[in-house]
Protein backbone atom coordinates (compact mmCIF):
# COMPACT_ATOMS: atom_id res chain seq x y z
CA UNK A 1 0.00 0.00 0.00
CA UNK A 2 2.75 2.41 1.00
CA UNK A 3 6.41 2.19 1.79
CA UNK A 4 9.90 3.51 1.47
CA UNK A 5 13.02 1.76 0.20
CA UNK A 6 16.56 2.81 1.08
CA UNK A 7 19.12 1.44 -1.39
CA UNK A 8 22.61 0.62 -0.14
CA UNK A 9 25.65 0.87 -2.37
CA UNK A 10 26.16 -2.18 -4.56
CA UNK A 11 28.28 -4.86 -2.89
CA UNK A 12 31.79 -5.21 -4.38
CA UNK A 13 31.60 -7.25 -7.58
CA UNK A 14 27.82 -6.88 -8.00
CA UNK A 15 26.79 -7.28 -11.64
CA UNK A 16 23.88 -5.32 -13.04
CA UNK A 17 22.04 -6.93 -15.96
CA UNK A 18 23.07 -5.47 -19.31
CA UNK A 19 20.20 -7.06 -21.25
CA UNK A 20 16.69 -5.65 -21.09
CA UNK A 21 14.36 -7.01 -18.42
CA UNK A 22 12.88 -10.44 -19.14
CA UNK A 23 9.34 -9.12 -19.44
CA UNK A 24 8.35 -11.75 -21.97
CA UNK A 25 8.78 -14.61 -19.51
CA UNK A 26 5.34 -16.05 -18.60
CA UNK A 27 6.17 -16.12 -14.88
CA UNK A 28 6.62 -12.34 -14.96
CA UNK A 29 2.91 -11.78 -15.50
CA UNK A 30 1.94 -14.43 -12.94
CA UNK A 31 4.23 -12.79 -10.35
CA UNK A 32 2.56 -9.39 -10.79
CA UNK A 33 -0.94 -10.85 -10.76
CA UNK A 34 -0.28 -12.82 -7.56
CA UNK A 35 1.26 -9.80 -5.80
CA UNK A 36 -1.32 -7.23 -6.84
CA UNK A 37 -4.51 -8.94 -8.07
CA UNK A 38 -4.79 -12.15 -6.05
CA UNK A 39 -4.15 -14.06 -9.29
CA UNK A 40 -3.92 -17.53 -7.78
CA UNK A 41 -6.38 -20.38 -8.11
CA UNK A 42 -6.44 -24.17 -8.06
CA UNK A 43 -5.57 -24.47 -11.74
CA UNK A 44 -2.54 -22.20 -11.38
CA UNK A 45 -1.46 -23.98 -8.20
CA UNK A 46 -1.55 -27.34 -10.00
CA UNK A 47 0.37 -26.05 -13.04
CA UNK A 48 3.09 -24.38 -10.94
CA UNK A 49 3.54 -27.50 -8.78
CA UNK A 50 3.81 -29.67 -11.91
CA UNK A 51 6.26 -27.27 -13.52
CA UNK A 52 8.64 -27.25 -10.57
CA UNK A 53 8.26 -30.97 -9.92
CA UNK A 54 9.40 -31.55 -13.51
CA UNK A 55 12.32 -29.10 -13.16
CA UNK A 56 13.58 -30.24 -9.74
CA UNK A 57 16.52 -32.40 -10.82
CA UNK A 58 17.81 -29.91 -13.40
CA UNK A 59 17.21 -26.98 -11.03
CA UNK A 60 19.20 -28.62 -8.24
CA UNK A 61 22.09 -29.41 -10.56
CA UNK A 62 22.34 -26.00 -12.19
CA UNK A 63 21.04 -23.23 -9.93
CA UNK A 64 23.27 -23.29 -6.84
CA UNK A 65 26.10 -21.02 -7.99
CA UNK A 66 28.26 -18.59 -6.00
CA UNK A 67 26.86 -15.72 -8.08
CA UNK A 68 23.32 -16.67 -7.02
CA UNK A 69 24.19 -17.38 -3.39
CA UNK A 70 25.87 -13.96 -3.04
CA UNK A 71 22.63 -11.99 -3.08
CA UNK A 72 21.17 -14.20 -0.35
CA UNK A 73 24.15 -13.87 1.99
CA UNK A 74 24.35 -10.13 1.35
CA UNK A 75 20.65 -9.74 2.21
CA UNK A 76 21.17 -11.62 5.47
CA UNK A 77 24.34 -9.65 6.32
CA UNK A 78 23.72 -6.07 5.19
CA UNK A 79 19.97 -6.43 5.67
CA UNK A 80 20.72 -7.20 9.34
CA UNK A 81 18.36 -10.16 9.47
CA UNK A 82 17.79 -11.19 13.08
CA UNK A 83 16.45 -14.70 12.56
CA UNK A 84 14.26 -16.04 15.37
CA UNK A 85 11.53 -18.32 14.02
CA UNK A 86 12.51 -18.44 10.34
CA UNK A 87 10.43 -19.78 7.46
CA UNK A 88 11.57 -19.87 3.85
CA UNK A 89 8.68 -19.85 1.38
CA UNK A 90 9.26 -21.42 -2.04
CA UNK A 91 12.50 -22.91 -0.75
CA UNK A 92 12.97 -25.10 -3.83
CA UNK A 93 15.92 -27.42 -3.53
CA UNK A 94 17.37 -25.58 -0.55
CA UNK A 95 19.95 -23.07 -1.81
CA UNK A 96 18.63 -20.36 0.53
CA UNK A 97 17.68 -22.76 3.31
CA UNK A 98 21.29 -23.89 3.63
CA UNK A 99 22.36 -20.33 4.34
CA UNK A 100 19.54 -19.81 6.83
CA UNK A 101 20.30 -23.07 8.65
CA UNK A 102 23.99 -22.11 8.90
CA UNK A 103 23.01 -18.94 10.76
CA UNK A 104 19.80 -19.65 12.64
CA UNK A 105 18.55 -22.57 14.79
CA UNK A 106 14.84 -22.53 14.00
CA UNK A 107 14.40 -22.83 10.23
CA UNK A 108 11.50 -24.32 8.27
CA UNK A 109 11.52 -24.67 4.49
CA UNK A 110 8.16 -24.70 2.70
CA UNK A 111 7.47 -25.42 -0.94
CA UNK A 112 4.57 -26.45 -3.16
CA UNK A 113 6.71 -28.91 -5.08
CA UNK A 114 7.43 -32.20 -3.34
CA UNK A 115 10.20 -32.96 -5.83
CA UNK A 116 11.97 -29.69 -5.05
CA UNK A 117 11.80 -30.47 -1.33
CA UNK A 118 13.11 -33.99 -1.89
CA UNK A 119 16.14 -32.60 -3.72
CA UNK A 120 17.15 -30.34 -0.80
CA UNK A 121 20.24 -31.40 1.15
CA UNK A 122 19.41 -33.32 4.35
CA UNK A 123 20.88 -30.80 6.80
CA UNK A 124 18.92 -27.74 5.75
CA UNK A 125 16.04 -27.47 8.23
CA UNK A 126 12.58 -28.98 8.56
CA UNK A 127 10.66 -29.25 5.30
CA UNK A 128 6.95 -28.80 4.69
CA UNK A 129 4.99 -29.19 1.49
CA UNK A 130 2.47 -26.36 1.39
CA UNK A 131 0.94 -23.51 -0.56
CA UNK A 132 2.06 -20.00 0.41
CA UNK A 133 -1.38 -18.65 -0.52
CA UNK A 134 -2.82 -20.53 2.47
CA UNK A 135 0.09 -21.08 4.82
CA UNK A 136 -0.20 -23.90 7.36
CA UNK A 137 1.12 -21.52 10.01
CA UNK A 138 -0.47 -19.62 12.87
CA UNK A 139 -0.88 -15.87 12.60
CA UNK A 140 2.04 -13.91 14.03
CA UNK A 141 4.18 -17.07 14.19
CA UNK A 142 7.28 -16.21 12.11
CA UNK A 143 9.97 -13.66 12.92
CA UNK A 144 11.64 -13.95 9.51
CA UNK A 145 10.11 -14.94 6.18
CA UNK A 146 12.51 -15.38 3.27
CA UNK A 147 11.47 -15.61 -0.39
CA UNK A 148 14.14 -16.28 -3.01
CA UNK A 149 12.82 -16.13 -6.56
CA UNK A 150 9.38 -16.87 -5.20
CA UNK A 151 5.87 -15.51 -5.70
CA UNK A 152 4.76 -12.88 -3.17
CA UNK A 153 1.46 -13.58 -1.41
CA UNK A 154 1.05 -10.28 0.50
CA UNK A 155 -1.97 -11.14 2.67
CA UNK A 156 -0.46 -14.36 4.02
CA UNK A 157 2.89 -12.73 4.68
CA UNK A 158 1.15 -9.98 6.58
CA UNK A 159 -0.84 -12.52 8.59
CA UNK A 160 2.02 -14.86 9.52
CA UNK A 161 4.87 -12.40 10.10
CA UNK A 162 5.19 -11.13 13.67
CA UNK A 163 4.62 -7.42 14.28
CA UNK A 164 8.32 -6.59 14.28
CA UNK A 165 9.25 -9.40 11.88
CA UNK A 166 11.39 -9.11 8.74
CA UNK A 167 10.56 -10.13 5.19
CA UNK A 168 13.62 -11.03 3.09
CA UNK A 169 13.03 -10.79 -0.66
CA UNK A 170 15.76 -11.93 -3.08
CA UNK A 171 15.91 -12.10 -6.87
CA UNK A 172 19.16 -13.91 -7.61
CA UNK A 173 19.12 -12.75 -11.23
CA UNK A 174 18.02 -9.19 -10.37
CA UNK A 175 15.75 -7.77 -13.13
CA UNK A 176 16.31 -10.88 -15.25
CA UNK A 177 14.74 -13.20 -12.66
CA UNK A 178 11.49 -14.61 -14.08
CA UNK A 179 9.74 -14.30 -10.68
CA UNK A 180 10.75 -10.69 -10.22
CA UNK A 181 9.52 -7.66 -8.32
CA UNK A 182 11.56 -4.60 -7.50
CA UNK A 183 11.78 -3.82 -3.77
CA UNK A 184 9.55 -0.77 -4.33
CA UNK A 185 6.87 -3.12 -5.71
CA UNK A 186 7.27 -5.49 -2.77
CA UNK A 187 6.56 -2.79 -0.18
CA UNK A 188 3.71 -1.43 -2.33
CA UNK A 189 2.06 -4.86 -2.55
CA UNK A 190 2.13 -5.48 1.22
CA UNK A 191 -0.88 -4.38 3.29
CA UNK A 192 -0.15 -1.39 5.55
CA UNK A 193 3.00 0.69 5.71
CA UNK A 194 6.43 -0.89 5.29
CA UNK A 195 10.00 0.25 5.07
CA UNK A 196 12.85 -1.63 3.42
CA UNK A 197 16.59 -1.60 2.94
CA UNK A 198 17.72 -2.91 -0.44
CA UNK A 199 20.93 -3.84 -2.18
CA UNK A 200 22.63 -5.63 -5.03
CA UNK A 201 25.23 -8.39 -4.77
CA UNK A 202 26.46 -11.07 -7.14
CA UNK A 203 23.99 -11.16 -10.02
CA UNK A 204 21.04 -10.38 -7.83
CA UNK A 205 19.12 -7.83 -5.82
CA UNK A 206 17.35 -8.03 -2.47
CA UNK A 207 15.40 -6.16 0.14
CA UNK A 208 14.63 -6.68 3.80
CA UNK A 209 11.27 -5.15 4.66
CA UNK A 210 9.60 -4.51 8.00
CA UNK A 211 6.47 -2.72 9.13
CA UNK A 212 6.58 0.94 10.06
CA UNK A 213 5.70 0.94 13.78
Ligand X SMILES: C[S@@+](CC[C@H](N)C(=O)[O-])C[C@H]1O[C@@H](n2cnc3c(N)ncnc32)[C@H](O)[C@@H]1O
Say how far apart CA 123 and CA 98 lie, in whole Å. 8
Q: Is 62 helix (H, G, I), strand (E, B) or coil?
A: helix
113 binds ligand X (CB under 6 A): yes
Number of other residues whose CB lies within 10 A of the CB of residue 48: 19
161 binds ligand X (CB under 6 A): no
Compare residues 26 and 213 and give the one whose CB is closer to ligand X. 26
Of 88-107, which residues contact ligand X (CB under 6 A)? 89-92, 95-96
146 binds ligand X (CB under 6 A): no
- Quick one: which of 75, 116, 137, 168 contacts ligand X (CB under 6 A)? 116
The closest residue (CB) to ligand X is 92
What one-character DSSP code corresponds to residue 175?
G
Beta strands at 106-111 and 85-89: parallel, antiparallel or unpaired: parallel
Count how many residues are written for the chain: 213
Evaluated on CA atoms 81, 85, 90, 91, the torsion sign reads positive
148 binds ligand X (CB under 6 A): yes
Stretch that binds ligand X, among 6-14, 75-83, 86-94, 196-204 (CB under 6 A): 86-94
73 binds ligand X (CB under 6 A): no
Phi, psi of 117 (to 5 degrees): -60, -40
- Interface with ligand X (CB under 6 A): 48, 52, 63, 89-92, 95-96, 110-113, 116, 131-133, 148-151, 172, 179
Amino acid sequence: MAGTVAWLEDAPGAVRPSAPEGDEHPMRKVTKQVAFDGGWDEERRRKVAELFDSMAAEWTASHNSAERRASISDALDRGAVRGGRVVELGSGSGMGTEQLAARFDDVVALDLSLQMLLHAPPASGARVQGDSSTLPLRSDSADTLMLVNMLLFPAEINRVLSTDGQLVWVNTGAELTPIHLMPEEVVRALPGEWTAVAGRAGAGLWCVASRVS
